[in-house]
Chains A and B, each alone.
Chain A
Amino acid sequence: MARRKRALHAEGGGSDDDVNLTPMLDVVFILLIFFIVTAQFIKEPGVPIARQDVDNKDYVKPLAILIGIDENSDIYIDKKVVEPNEFEFALKELRKDNPKGEIVVQADNSSEAETLVQIMETIRDVDGATSVNVSVDRD
């Protein structure tokens, strides 16, 4: 209240160099908190994937690790090719950063089953998972 009175006085005095930044700061803080809360640091595979359109699909939350298999059956993590024999190590490294959350394999339609099954076996061994999410077309 005292501040407002002073501001009025300042207006009366003709000095307009003192703009009240507090409401703007409130808005900026709310935006900041929104972006902090929604921020997810996911390393994308960065390869274009042709997905299958299926009837039974679920949203995967929370998303943590994305693994891409492109049409030539190369494995991509964080926009880099990962050799199949290095995949287990790479997955363990990713799990260190992100101990919780789901793994999603983005397998291209024309990639080979051998690669996908090997990846699923590795995820089963590393994570103890009984099933692996494979990305499909979104609605």
Chain B
Amino acid sequence: MRGRLKRAPEEAEVNLTPMLDVVFILLIFFIVTSTFIQEQALRLEPPPPPPPLDQIIEPLPAIVIYVDDEGLIRVNGRVADIGSVRANIERLRAERPESAVIIQAHPQARNGLIVNIRDQAQSADVNKVNIILADL
């Protein structure tokens, strides 16, 4: 036994234990800090940036959905139920297919309702709905 060890060179046996310690510490660090966050989201469009003053923009016909602070919805001035927003948008878009959709929100309107209306508009195949704040 002793003779064998003497003949086998000493550097063939690398001590892996310290490296294993380091790797374990790294592993534990990454396990502890790892977070598996997943988010599902709906895309909302911010108000368009203010245009340059010297440029006159041809206003598109627009479907304005007004949301007030008590959750009342008006589509082009007519009071609508949240369930009928989609039908309203589809009807108005059928009349004028090029019209843009704008959500005009009272500053104290609830965001849940706005997200809901944006979702209804998406279901009505409207890909861009700008959300603006109503002037008081």
What is A's interface to B at a CB cutoff of 8 Å?
2-3, 6, 9, 13, 21-22, 24-25, 28-29, 31-32, 35-36, 38-42, 44, 50, 52, 54-60, 63, 66, 69, 104, 106-114, 116-117, 120-121, 123-125, 129-139
Contacts and interface: CB of A to CB of B under 8 A. Distances in A.
Nearest 5 pairs of A and B residues by beta carbon = A109-B112, A35-B30, A120-B46, A133-B41, A54-B119
Contacts, number: 174
B30 A136 contact: no
A134 B115 contact: yes
B112 A52 contact: yes
B47 A117 contact: yes
Contact of A137 (B40, B106, B107): B40
19 contacts: A13-B1, A28-B20, A32-B23, A32-B26, A36-B30, A39-B30, A52-B116, A54-B42, A63-B39, A108-B112, A110-B111, A111-B111, A112-B111, A117-B46, A120-B47, A121-B46, A123-B46, A124-B46, A133-B41
Contacts of A41: 33
B39 A59 contact: yes
Nearest to A34: B30
A108 B41 CA distance: 13
Given A113-B105, A117-B131, A123-B46, A25 B16 contact: yes
B42 A116 contact: no
A116 B114 contact: yes
A71 B42 CA distance: 19
Contact of A44 (B19, B37, B112): B37
Interface in B28-53: 30-31, 33-47, 49
Interface of B: 1, 4, 8, 12-13, 16-17, 19-20, 23-24, 26-27, 30-31, 33-47, 49, 67, 105-116, 118-119, 122-123, 131-133
Contacts of B16: 21-22, 25
Contact of B36 (A9, A36, A38): A38
A56 B31 contact: no
Nearest to A18: B13
A38 B8 CA distance: 43
B39 A133 contact: yes
Nearest to A32: B27
B108 A112 contact: yes
Nearest to B19: A25
Contact of B27 (A35, A104, A131): A35
B20 A25 contact: yes
A39 B111 contact: no
